[in-house]
């Protein structure tokens, strides 16, 4: 059975290997013209030598008929080769070729035998030579179609061997033996060649599959490296690449374009409250809105988190940019319908225009980001274009950063102190320390500016430590009942090392920790709530108190406040400044004061500047206050006189039966 199936396999066409089939058909079609050329040329020579000695039907008509069939086949193969073959066509062609080879073989053999009796010994030798040489040539040409080659060998060589081997002619018999040997050798070569040919095709196929696979892999890698998996938008890396490309292509003086940066307002609360799945859906909707905007004429990328980048390939003037920004902001502020929630999220945008805003990818990117930062501060949900004024601000900030980098903090930093008064008992109960930097290069720099610069430079912990030591040295000289409030930056709170070092500085000082309040801002909570909580616990463990500064300006919610080990809240001065005129501010101050009473927090009302504000705050239930009305921040050496004056005024007030609370105002 296995032998039979092997034999059958030799005569079959490999239908299960289409690539082999096509390769066979292709190689075969290249050899076909050669095969028929050999056949016809040799047949013509034989007809010629027998012309006259053999009848015309053998020298003219029969070979002509065979020649017509051969030429038709050549034309047929040539046309199919030019058209290109499908697997099915190739299979049909190859399968049809094997029987045809046998039929043509039989036809030519019969013709040769028919000619043999006519003519002399030379002509007979020519017949024999014709048969032998033609069959060898044709077998070679059929080497890519084993079945046809073997069949042809069978139908020609076997009758020829029998005919000439039994002719009794020693020369013919010797040639017959030679031909049989050559044919056997040829069959062996053919089998090996065919094997090598199929191996080659298999290797080629494997190689092509490997290539296709590596192409697929590299496509996938490209996708992963350049696309954001959530929104399928280009990612930050691709955005920067695109920006570089545009810059490389842009012609000097022509082709201005716009870089934009979008940041969502109110995304974080939605993400925190409803979970990441809802947050993800919201981001996908945002991506859709920006992508569909202006029929997709913008290049949009997700830069990370809730930040998106834009490239607008148009030369827009200021008012057109303003219009575009407003339209985008409108599109982004439409409510987002999500499962279980309709989220009121908006987007702020910063734009920077090439080339007047910046000329490198880095400049354009940073400046759009700067404009975005201003949009978020000035009016959330608006768009701002980077301007000359911003450019001047950046230069000023750079000057501050450079001066701060080189400053001798020990010499140039100093604390000033602003009293915190309790209006119920009419006297100062503590001071808030506020940093001052007298830069040797720039002169006095406001703390809001240099603290932010120190944060950007990553050196704010140095500032904090220098100030902490100086402040505590001063506090040591104060009356024992006088407290101090010390500000910590959000970056200090985020770093366990800095918190540890501040705690060691307190321990190394002679000030009892319970006299110290550490003030932290809401930003610290928003950035890293878990670490902020740890830091507050460490401060509590030390024995000091904790205070949440500028309450009401950031994002911290009531749940934040409840979960944290806090002792005090400080109501931001923005609510106090219009407390007389604005009912909303009044409501907020009252709500926070009530909250503090319920949670047993102390509450400090900041920024009190007028008598009317004092009265208003007292009516709402607050009595601990801080502000220019009582005193501006003062130098350490002024504190002693201030406290003495306050004590004297208090005594006077008591003897003149004035209100004790008047004493603090007179001291300031
Ligand atoms: P803050 O912690 O909210 O400090 C109160 C700020 O309000 C101080 O500004 C103070 O001078 C000012 N102020 C007090 N009363 C009034 C008032 O009645 N009216 C008005 N208009 N302003 C009043 P200052 O000293 O310029 O400090 C600004 C901010 O810089 C501080 O705000 C605080 O966030 C930061 N800062 C100051 N010193 C330090 C420090 O040592 N470390 C850290 N991390 N930040 C500090
Ligand atoms: Ca403060
Ligand atoms: Ca404050």
Q: Can you tell me which atom of ligand 1 is nearest the CA of 629?
A: 18
Same structural domain, 430 and 465? yes
The predicted-structure confidence for 499-516, as pLDDT tens digits, reads as follows 999 999 999 999 999 999
Same structural domain, 181 and 35? yes
What is the Cα–Cα distance from 347 to 321, expressed in whole angstroms?
16
Same structural domain, 168 and 252? no
pLDDT for position 86? 82
Same structural domain, 425 and 376? no
pLDDT for position 138? 84
Best residue among 413, 431, 447, 549 to mutate for probing ligand 1, ranked by most atoms within 8 Å of CB: 447
What is the Cα–Cα distance from 306 to 410, expressed in whole angstroms?
41
Cα 519 to ligand 3 centroid, rounded to whole Å: 8
pLDDT for position 1? 47
- Categorize the per-residue pLDDT at 262 as very low, low, confident or very high, splitting at 50, 70 and 90: very high
Residue 125 lies in a domain: yes
pLDDT for position 90? 81
Residue 261 lies in a domain: yes
Residue 528 pLDDT > 90 = no
Same structural domain, 196 and 249? no
Cα dihedral value 192, 195, 197, 201, nearest 10: -160
Mean pLDDT of the chain, nearest integer: 89
- Categorize the per-residue pLDDT at 12 as very low, low, confident or very high, splitting at 50, 70 and 90: low
Query: How many domains would you assign to the chain?
Result: 3
- Average pLDDT on 615-628 reads 96
Same structural domain, 205 and 128? yes
pLDDT for position 9? 62
Residue 48 pLDDT > 90 = yes
Residue 667 lies in a domain: no
Same structural domain, 353 and 418? no
Residue with CA at minimum distance from ligand 1 atom 34: 448
Q: Is the pTM of this model over 0.85?
A: no
Residue 516 lies in a domain: yes
Q: Does any ligand 1 atom lie closer than 6 A to the CB of residue 147? A: no
- Average pLDDT on 637-657 reads 84
Q: Does any ligand 1 atom lie closer than 6 A to the CB of residue 454? A: no
pLDDT for position 449? 95
Of 81-85, 98-102, 120-124, 233-237, which one has max mean pLDDT?
233-237
Q: Can you tell me which atom of ligand 1 is nearest the CA of 492?
A: 44
The predicted-structure confidence for 558-586, as pLDDT tens digits, reads as follows 777 888 899 999 999 999 999 999 998 99
pLDDT for position 5? 65
pLDDT for position 21? 81
What is the Cα–Cα distance from 597 to 98, expressed in whole angstroms?
103
Q: Count of CB atoms within 10 A of residue 198's CB?
A: 16
At 361, which CATH number?
A: 3.30.70.270
pLDDT for position 4? 62
Residue 227 lies in a domain: no
* Ligand in closest contact with the CA of 418: 1
Domain extent, residue 303, equals 236-398
At 561, which CATH number?
A: 3.20.20.450
Residue with CA at minimum distance from ligand 1 atom 25: 434
pLDDT for position 413? 98
Same structural domain, 394 and 419? no
Cα 524 to ligand 2 centroid, rounded to whole Å: 13
Residue 637 pLDDT > 80 = yes
Q: Which residue has the tokens 């079609």?
A: 29
The predicted-structure confidence for 14-23, as pLDDT tens digits, reads as follows 666 788 888 8
Q: Does any ligand 1 atom lie closer than 6 A to the CB of residue 485? A: no
Domain boundary among 398, 432, 451: 398
How distant, in Å, are the alpha carbons of 41, 51, 105, 110, 197 from that of 57? 18, 10, 19, 13, 42
CA atoms in the 13 A half-sphere facing the CB of 158: 9
Higher pLDDT residue, 408 or 252? 408
pLDDT for position 6? 63
Strands annotated E in 423-553: 427-439, 443-445, 483-487, 516-520, 545-551
| Coil, helix or strand at residue 16 | coil
Residue 573 lies in a domain: yes
Same structural domain, 318 and 372? yes
Same structural domain, 384 and 428? no
Residue 53 lies in a domain: yes
Domain boundary among 351, 367, 398: 398
The predicted-structure confidence for 180-225, as pLDDT tens digits, reads as follows 899 889 888 888 888 888 888 888 888 999 999 999 888 888 888 8
Higher pLDDT residue, 602 or 254? 602
Q: Does any ligand 1 atom lie closer than 6 A to the CB of residue 633? A: yes
Same structural domain, 205 and 255? no
Residues 6+ apart with CB under 8 A from 360: 247
Q: Can you tell me which atom of ligand 1 is nearest the CA of 471?
A: 41
- Categorize the per-residue pLDDT at 642 as very low, low, confident or very high, splitting at 50, 70 and 90: very high
Q: Does any ligand 1 atom lie closer than 6 A to the CB of residue 54? A: no
The predicted-structure confidence for 128-150, as pLDDT tens digits, reads as follows 898 888 888 888 888 888 888 88
Q: Can you tell me which atom of ligand 1 is nearest the CA of 486?
A: 41
Q: What b/e sequence results for 356-394 when a residue is b if at least 16 CB atoms lie within 10 Å of its CB, and e otherwise?
A: ebbeebebbbbbbbbbbbbbbeeebbbbbbbbeebeeee
Cα 434 to ligand 1 centroid, rounded to whole Å: 6
What is the Cα–Cα distance from 367 to 391, expressed in whole angstroms?
8
Residue with CA at minimum distance from ligand 1 atom 42: 487
Of 75-84, 106-115, 644-653, which one has max mean pLDDT?
106-115
How distant, in Å, are the alpha carbons of 43, 170, 173, 569 from that of 159? 18, 18, 13, 115
The predicted-structure confidence for 464-475, as pLDDT tens digits, reads as follows 999 999 999 999
Residue with CA at minimum distance from ligand 1 atom 31: 448
Q: Does any ligand 1 atom lie closer than 6 A to the CB of residue 610? A: no
Q: Does any ligand 1 atom lie closer than 6 A to the CB of residue 444? A: no
- Average pLDDT on 96-124 reads 88
61-70 contacts: CB < 8 A, separation 24 or more? 62/111, 62/114, 63/111, 66/104, 66/107, 66/108, 66/111, 67/40, 67/43, 69/104, 70/36, 70/39, 70/40, 70/104
Residue 218 lies in a domain: no
Best residue among 487, 518, 519, 605 to mutate for probing ligand 1, ranked by most atoms within 8 Å of CB: 487
pLDDT for position 205? 87
The predicted-structure confidence for 363-383, as pLDDT tens digits, reads as follows 999 999 999 999 988 888 899
Domain boundary among 346, 368, 398: 398
- Categorize the per-residue pLDDT at 255 as very low, low, confident or very high, splitting at 50, 70 and 90: confident
| Coil, helix or strand at residue 183 | helix
pLDDT for position 565? 93
The predicted-structure confidence for 290-308, as pLDDT tens digits, reads as follows 998 876 678 999 999 999 9
pLDDT for position 465? 98
Q: What percent of the chain has pLDDT over 70?
A: 94
Of 311-320, 389-398, 401-410, 592-601, which one has max mean pLDDT?
401-410
Same structural domain, 457 and 556? yes
């Amino acid at each position: 059975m296995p032998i039979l199936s092997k034999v059958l396999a030799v005569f079959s066409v490999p239908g299960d290997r289409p690539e082999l089939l096509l390769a066979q058909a292709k190689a075969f079609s290249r050899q076909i013209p050669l095969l028929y050329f050999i056949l016809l040329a040799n047949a013509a020579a034989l007809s010629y030598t027998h012309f006259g000695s053999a009848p015309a039907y053998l020298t003219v008509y029969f070979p002509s008929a065979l020649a017509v069939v051969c030429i038709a086949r050549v034309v047929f193969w040539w046309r199919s080769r030019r058209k290109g073959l499908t697997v099915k066509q190739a299979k049909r062609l190859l399968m049809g070729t094997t029987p045809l080879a046998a039929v043509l073989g039989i036809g030519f053999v019969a013709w040769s035998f028919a000619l043999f009796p006519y003519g002399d010994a030379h002509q007979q030798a020519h017949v024999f030579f014709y048969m032998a040489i033609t069959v060898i040539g044709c077998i070679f040409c059929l080497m890519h179609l084993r079945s046809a080659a073997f069949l042809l060998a069978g139908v020609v060589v076997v009758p020829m061997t029998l005919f000439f081997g039994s002719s009794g002619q020693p020369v013919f018999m010797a040639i017959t033996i030679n031909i049989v040997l050559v044919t056997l050798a040829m069959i062996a070569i053919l089998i090996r060649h065919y094997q090598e040919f199929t191996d080659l095709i298999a290797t080629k196929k494997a190689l092509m599959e490997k290539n296709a696979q590596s192409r697929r892999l590299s496509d996938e890698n490209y996708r992963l490296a350049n696309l954001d998996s959530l929104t399928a938008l280009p990612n930050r890396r691709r955005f920067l690449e695109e920006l570089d490309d545009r810059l490389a292509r842009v012609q000097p003086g022509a082709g201005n374009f716009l870089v934009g940066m979008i940041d969502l307002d109110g995304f974080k609360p939605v993400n925190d409250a409803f979970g990441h799945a809802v947050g993800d859906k919201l981001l996908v909707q945002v991506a859709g809105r920006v992508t569909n905007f202006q029929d997709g004429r913008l290049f949009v990328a997700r830069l990370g988190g809730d930040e998106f980048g834009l490239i607008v390939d148009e030369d827009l003037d200021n008012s057109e940019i303003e219009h575009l920004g407003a339209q985008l902001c409108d599109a982004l502020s439409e409510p987002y319908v999500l499962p279980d929630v309709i989220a009121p999220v908006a987007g702020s945008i910063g734009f920077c225009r090439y080339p007047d805003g910046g000329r490198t990818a880095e400049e354009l990117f940073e400046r759009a980001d700067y404009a975005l930062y201003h949009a978020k501060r000035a009016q959330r949900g608006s768009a701002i274009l980077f301007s000359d004024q911003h450019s001047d601000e950046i230069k000023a900030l750079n000057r501050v950063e450079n001066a701060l980098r080189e400053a001798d903090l020990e010499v140039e930093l100093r604390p000033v102190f602003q009293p915190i008064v309790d209006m119920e008992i009419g006297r100062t109960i503590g001071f808030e320390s506020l940093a001052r930097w007298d830069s040797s290069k720039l002169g006095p720099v406001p703390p809001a500016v240099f603290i932010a610069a120190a944060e950007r430079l990553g050196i704010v912990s140095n500032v904090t430590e220098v100030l902490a030591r100086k402040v505590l040295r001063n506090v040591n000289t104060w009356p024992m009942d006088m407290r101090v409030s010390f500000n910590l930056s959000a970056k200090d709170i985020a770093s366990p090392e800095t918190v540890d070092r501040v705690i060691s500085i307190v321990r190394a000082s002679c000030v009892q920790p319970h006299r110290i309040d550490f003030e932290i801002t809401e930003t610290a909570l928003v950035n890293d709530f878990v670490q902020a909580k740890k830091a507050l616990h460490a401060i509590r463990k030390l024995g000091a108190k904790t205070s949440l500064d500028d309450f009401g300006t950031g994002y911290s919610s009531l749940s934040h406040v409840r979960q944290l080990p806090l002792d005090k809240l400080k109501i931001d001065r923005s609510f106090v400044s219009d407390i007389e005129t604005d009912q909303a501010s009044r409501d907020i101050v009252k709500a926070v004061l009530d909250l503090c009473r319920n949670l047993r927090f102390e509450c400090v009302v900041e920024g009190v500047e007028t008598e009317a504000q004092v009265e208003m705050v007292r009516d709402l239930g607050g009595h601990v206050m801080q502000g220019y009305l009582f005193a501006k921040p003062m130098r350490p050496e002024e504190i002693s006189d201030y406290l003495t004056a306050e004590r004297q005024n208090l005594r006077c007030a008591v003897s003149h039966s004035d209100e004790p609370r008047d004493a603090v105002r007179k001291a300031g």
